Amino acid sequence: MKSTLLLVLLFVFTSPLFAQQFSVSGKITDENNKPVPFASVYIKNTTKGASANSEGFYELQLKPGNYELQYKAVGYGQQSKRVELTANQVVNVSLKTETYELKAIAIHAGAEDPAYAIIRKAIKKRKTYLNEVKAYTCDIYIKGLQKLLAAPKKFLGVDVQKATNEAGLDSNRRGIVYLSESESKYSFMRPDQVHEVQVSSKVSGRNRAFSFNRASDLAVNFYENFQTWEGLSNRPLVSPIADNALFYYKYQYMGLSVENGETVNKIKVTPKRSYDPCFEGYIYILDDSWRIESLQLYLTKKANINFVDTLTVNQQFYPVSSRAWMPATIKFEFTGGLFGFKVGGYFISVYKNYDLDPVLNKKDFAEVLRIDKGVAKDTSYWNQERPIPLTNEEKVDYKAKDKLAIKRESKVYLDSLDKANNTFKPINIFTGISTRNRYKKEYYHFDGLLNTLVYNTVEGFALDYGASFSKLVDTVNNRYLLLNGKVRYGFKNKMFNGTVGAAIPLKHLTLGLNAGSDITDLNSRQPVSTLENSFYSLFYKENYQKLYQKQFASASLSGRITGGWVAYAMVEWANRKSLSNSSDYSFFNPDKKQFTSNNPLNPASDAPLFPENQSFKIGLRTTYDFSDKYETYPSGRRYLPSKYPTIGVNYVKGVSGVLGSDVDYDVLSVDVAKSNIDMGFYGRTSFFAGAGKFVNANKLFYTDYKHFDGNQLLVYTTSLNKFLLLNYYNFSTPDKYIEGHLEHNFSGFITNKIPIIRRFKLQEIVDINYLYTPNLKNYTELGFGLQYLNIRAMYGMSYNSGTNIHSAFRIGVAL
């Protein structure tokens, strides 16, 4: 009997009649019958709603019943419609441009605009509304669209016409290049804890993919003093109601309107100085409560933003309870162009189903984002769920690119693509040969002559030829088996060397195996690249790189232990042999210069730096960054950096007697580092500090010393713990040391105040580097310069115990 009743109940509650829904749809236009894009539609006194698309069309899926629908858009008067829903209905709505009446206020010549009094009250209430809601949950729908509006037929030798045709764009190289939708369940807890679970996703042209739309990326809160939008702006952007907003903005009162019994003040905001990181546009403030009702703000090139020409932010709020207004929609719209390419698009998020008194577990916030397998939903799902109807262009794009996606996943297509891309071309002799089997997820690479042919004074011209193989073996965690090998032959010293290596995934750890014989740098930090040394040796007769032969076998194990704790262990046996110069050839011989010897401590003599020796050593390193935050993807976890510094501990022991080992030493070191500490308007600071000591130095050789990342070249690769002017080899130590690096990027704080120069978006850089060893004493470097994108020009000065010893100009490149 119970079983029969259960079956009946299941049938009733899952039958189409019980679950029946109808749609309310239509078009939202203005008084001129033009569409009002992205207008909001909400059921009165609820947080359930939708948004019109870019053409003004909307659709709501509702159960039968009586509803009062509210239609609203920034700058338009609200309309209400009562609907008795017993079948699908079409309800078209015309919104009138809102008329804002001026208050009956006597404004005398020279008197302050009434907007300032309102803004002061809004600023005074800023912190109250920032902290008003301690926690909440909601559902968020996000839609992203990017279109290529124009493009050249060819660019840097690439056939753009062919690429855009293959991507499904039209013959004029125009069309949608990215279209995606996603739904997420979002949880928030003050001050900054978030947990987002993506429950559904659709990406045009990628049937099994998940969307990279993230609610956190689109979250914007103008109750915060600053908006820090990495990449878009080098500087934090000032909110129109920030504590110091009156220093940055001019305000103009545009009038008031009454909506749902609330008086809304419209205020125009304009930067006082065009070069300041400020918004322009309109902000709507409620009378009496002085909270934000909506806003329509934009940024242009005048604010020195990157990548785009114009960015518009539209945000609407609605009352979720008697005590709180929450975001209803947020939309970012952008246009930009570079090198003949023009792009435009938008990202919009729609919020619903708020709960301002949720029961949350703090432990859940360790996971910031979760995207499981199976979030990609089909067309039938989205036809029922999406709150923003598709335009005809978007429907065509989904349909056409879904077919392309099926084709692209087939073995026939992948094989044909590999065949075309794996075709040998004469240029590959110089650049290398790369072949890929996409279906088997295998990749092969063979070096080209540009990376293979090297020159140094130890080997003369040398061939350093390598090849590698990788294969995806863990599809769950996206981990690869890596194999590599190389051979090296010096044509002058007649020495042949070769190495092999492997990186093998073992659950959450990686096993590394390496063995062979190689010619390598005396400085374990490898401060000079082979290409740089070849260039300076051949053209300037400067052999900066000092080399030795190393025959070795090693094994390592590395991986994440838990949370922010990462560990690495290694063991290595090596036979080390000092080498001497065998070649003095160069293309030019400026001032009859002579090469220095391969002994960095005795440049005038080629006496061996150390006798041939064997070493057996064990190394351990562990780091902890105080973060348990992570994101979960179908391919595994991605741990997020902490707001606190990372602490590292390193221990290396040279073991005497094992496999003939000649060394006997112990070195212990600690370090602490943190990058990009936000200093607001004043930029970002990064630092590294380390100290160590050989607690046992019974027997060791130069290659066992503590080495530092020096620089003696005009052009260098930037890194946090790199010196500007330090000699590569002379100050390595077998004793104690203290090392410190501090870098501050002012992010245009100064240059943005200088006419003409500000258009280059330069960033001011200050470097301070310090090193203490018993022999070097107190070595300090000061560097000053400017950075554009990833290239910086620096002028450095070095001091030892207060005395200037060297000054030079440097060009840094971040790779």
How much is the pLDDT for 760? 85
Domains in the chain with CATH codes = 2-95 (2.60.40.1120), 117-407 (no CATH), 414-440 (no CATH), 441-662 (no CATH), 666-815 (no CATH)
How much is the pLDDT for 3? 37
Q: What dihedral do alpha carbons 29, 35, 36, 38 form, nearest 10°?
A: 120
pLDDT category, 14, cuts 50, 70, 90?
Answer: very low
Instruction: Enter the pTM of the model.
Output: 0.86
How much is the pLDDT for 634? 83
Mean pLDDT of 85-91: 89
pLDDT tens readout for residues 297-342: 999 888 888 878 899 999 999 999 888 999 999 999 999 888 888 9
Q: Of the segments 37-41, 120-124, 364-368, which one has the largest average pLDDT value?
A: 120-124
How much is the pLDDT for 500? 98
Task: Please list, residue by residue across 711-738, b when 16 or more beta carbons sit within 10 angstroms of its beta carbon and e when fewer do.
Answer: bbbeebebeebbbbbbbbbebbbbebbe
CB-based contacts of 384, cutoff 8 Å, min separation 6: 21, 61
Mean pLDDT of 25-42: 92
Whether residue 13 has pLDDT greater than 50 = no
- Enter the DSSP assignment of 241: T
pLDDT category, 766, cuts 50, 70, 90?
Answer: very high
Whether residue 2 has pLDDT greater than 50 = no
Mean pLDDT of 503-523: 95
**In the block, which residue shows the tokens 């809102």?**
98
Weakest-pLDDT range from 99-103, 222-226, 287-291, 788-792: 99-103
Q: What is the mean pLDDT of the chain?
A: 89
pLDDT category, 208, cuts 50, 70, 90?
Answer: low
Cα 747 to Cα 234, 255, 278: the distances in Å are 5, 38, 15
Tokens of 420: 């075309």
Mean pLDDT of 161-183: 84
pLDDT category, 408, cuts 50, 70, 90?
Answer: low
Whether residue 684 has pLDDT greater than 90 = yes
How much is the pLDDT for 209? 59
How much is the pLDDT for 780? 96
Report the alpha-carbon distance of residue 52 to residue 60 in Å, rounded.
Answer: 10
pLDDT category, 663, cuts 50, 70, 90?
Answer: very high
pLDDT tens readout for residues 691-703: 999 999 999 999 9
How much is the pLDDT for 7? 32
Report the alpha-carbon distance of residue 490 to residue 465 in Å, rounded.
Answer: 12
Percent of the chain predicted with pLDDT > 90:
62
Mean pLDDT of 376-383: 87
How much is the pLDDT for 596? 95
798 with 805: CB under 8 angstroms?
yes
Report the alpha-carbon distance of residue 99 to residue 82 in Å, rounded.
Answer: 24
pLDDT tens readout for residues 438-487: 778 889 999 988 889 999 999 999 999 999 999 988 776 778 999 999 99
Whether residue 687 has pLDDT greater than 50 = yes
How much is the pLDDT for 15? 35
Tokens of 249: 């903005």
241 with 227: CB under 8 angstroms?
no
**In the block, which residue shows the tokens 């790189």?**
545
Weakest-pLDDT range from 271-280, 282-291, 387-396, 408-417: 408-417
Whether residue 649 has pLDDT greater than 90 = yes
296 with 98: CB under 8 angstroms?
no
pLDDT category, 12, cuts 50, 70, 90?
Answer: very low
